[in-house]
Amino acid sequence: MTDHFQQAQLSAEPVSFQLNWGSLAGLRWGDPNGTVILALHGWLDNANSFVPLAEHFLASSAAQNYQLIALDWAGHGHSDHRPTGNYYPFLDYVYDLVQLTERQQWHSIHVIGHSMGGYAANLLAGVRPDLVLSLTIIEAFGLLTSPAEKILEDLRQSFKSRSLQQQKRRPHYLDLATAVQARLQAGDFSEPLAALLVQRGIEQLAENDFRFRADGQLRTKSPLRMSTEQVSAILQAIACPMQLILGSHGHRKQLEQGLAQWQTCVPQLQIAEVTGGHHVHMEQPEAIWRHVRDLLATAKR
């Protein structure tokens, strides 16, 4: 266990939810009977991505009325990998959420999503506007799209990536410190935050043999992307209070393009900037929690 965010780590309750293909794991804080705040991490991260935020959630009065549940996506963290022969098309993440809420009989939830989790949260709120009470997306807006004329190239590259992935072997590391350094090189954050993600994202196979838990199939390319018009239709269906939080030096160019295309689709959208990079929710969790708390207060129950 890292020395950071000890209260959130010590009080985290492991949870597991059975779906029709396998189980999703996660961590829960707060009142287990309270209204659900579902936290969705980014690609190749895991539920520990929200441990810093949970520290501030627990210090607030919200912990008496809400339960904060940080999921591990399929193929990430402690969740099951999809069955052999299956891949990770983006829309299946959204369907996993629909299935999860139906099986748990969660009729109304608040959602926080970072990066890939934010893109999935956009779609969930559009597909199920009756379900989502409020939506906080961090370093994500709209969806990655592709024009119609690129369809053949997208398909070819996707199929090629699947074939190539079958030939690859997941890297192994002699110790945790080496794995943390590898994660640090792929991120934009400090070593303690990299260690926090590695703590949940690693498995020990033997005395000097560590490997990341994430399914290698996560790295294959998506065969199909939506058009800008399709994304517009989905965003226009979002009915809840919604905010986008940008890192001051995060994925700014990509997000500005998304806002130029779709901001008018969600007139209720509020935009805030917090000092930090793409993982600003881990770097500045107190500021992020203040924004989430304020949006919760505006949402209808």
Residue 52 lies in a domain: yes
The C-alpha atoms of residue 301 and residue 273 are separated, in whole angstroms, by: 27
Residue 36 lies in a domain: yes
Residue 214, CA distances (Å) to 112, 186, 198, 202 in order: 22, 14, 11, 8
Residue 180 lies in a domain: no
Q: Position of tokens 């709120």?
A: 125
The C-alpha atoms of residue 12 and residue 236 are separated, in whole angstroms, by: 36
pLDDT at site 3: 58
13-42: pLDDT as tens digits: 999 999 999 999 999 999 999 999 999 999
User: Which domain does 241 fall in, by range?
Assistant: 6-147+227-298
Q: How many domains does the chain have?
A: 1
Mean pLDDT by 10 residues, the chain (301 residues): 76 97 98 97 97 97 97 98 93 97 98 98 97 98 91 93 88 93 88 95 93 94 91 97 97 94 97 97 97 92 56
The C-alpha atoms of residue 200 and residue 120 are separated, in whole angstroms, by: 22
Residue 203 lies in a domain: no
Q: Is 128 left (phi over 0), alpha (psi -120 to 50) or beta?
A: beta
Residue 159 lies in a domain: no
The C-alpha atoms of residue 285 and residue 189 are separated, in whole angstroms, by: 13
Which three-class secondary structure state does DSSP give residue 81? coil
Residue 213 lies in a domain: no
44: domain CATH number is 3.40.50.1820
pLDDT at site 300: 64
Q: Which two tokens stand for residue 253?
A: 């160019």
Residue 202 lies in a domain: no
Residue 40 lies in a domain: yes
How would you classify the pairing of strands 132-138 and 109-114?
Answer: parallel
pLDDT at site 170: 85
